[in-house]
């Protein structure tokens, strides 16, 4: 497991040297296996991304035509295009990528949709967009291996650990208080 260690911190806790190791979580499940509000309809010839529908780009001549078919069949409360930038890693967004790399290494790969029944608990389109962005961001972390865990050791003996964190700051509630500042400044 040592090859997965990102950072390591040592603090004296109860007169013992306690080591907190921050690790890459290489055994995480896809967040698309969870109970999600959104449906991702992503299509790519080179990559295998989630297509949580029966739609196929083979049956449509344009993104606009596919969007009309999705809208007609599902009558979604929210639908947005999904763009991917493929340049030293993958990045997904509901807005197109600008800049130099965006011109050559990005394009639309599908849609993210929230159907009306999943949208009922939410007040407005702004909330739905936030949910879509958050679920897409979580998928970004997963697809790029940016999922983390921690382990606590005393004298090299394992005493506690947990994994499946999509942001290191989410660990704060689980580790001893003595490590809070370390986690807050982990990427500095």
pLDDT at 102: 62
pLDDT of residue 118: 95
Q: What is the reported pTM?
A: 0.86
* Sequential DSSP letters for 47-99: S---B-SS--GGG-SSHHHHHHHHHHHH--SEEEEEEEEESSSEEEESS---H
**Tokens encoding 91:** 């990045």
pLDDT digits (tens, 9 = 90+) for 130-181: 999 999 999 999 999 999 999 999 988 999 999 999 988 888 889 999 998 8
Q: Is residue 128 part of a domain?
A: no
Are 109 and 79 in the same domain?
yes
Residues 110 and 59 in one domain: yes
Domain shared by 7 and 36, yes or no: no
Number of domains in the chain: 2
pLDDT above 70: percentage of residues in the chain: 96
Confidence tier at 100 by pLDDT (50, 70, 90): low
pLDDT of 15 over the 90 cut: no
């Amino acid at each position: 497991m040592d090859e997965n260690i990102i950072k390591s911190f040592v603090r004296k806790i109860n007169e013992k040297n306690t080591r907190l190791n921050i690790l890459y979580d290489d055994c995480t499940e896809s967040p698309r296996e969870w109970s999600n509000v959104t449906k991702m309809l992503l299509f790519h010839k080179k990559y295998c991304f989630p297509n949580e529908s029966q739609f196929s780009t083979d049956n449509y001549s344009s993104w606009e035509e596919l969007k009309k078919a999705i809208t007609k069949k599902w009558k979604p409360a929210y639908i947005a295009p999904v763009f991917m930038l493929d340049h030293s890693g993958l990045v997904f967004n509901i807005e197109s990528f600008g800049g130099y790399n965006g011109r050559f290494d990005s394009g639309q790969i599908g849609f993210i949709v929230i159907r009306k029944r999943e949208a009922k608990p939410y007040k407005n389109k702004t909330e739905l967009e936030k949910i879509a962005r958050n679920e897409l961001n979580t998928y970004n972390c997963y697809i790029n291996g940016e999922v983390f865990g921690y382990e606590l050791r005393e004298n090299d003996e394992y005493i506690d650990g947990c994994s499946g964190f999509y942001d290191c700051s989410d660990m704060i509630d689980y580790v001893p208080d003595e490590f809070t500042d370390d986690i807050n400044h982990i990427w500095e």
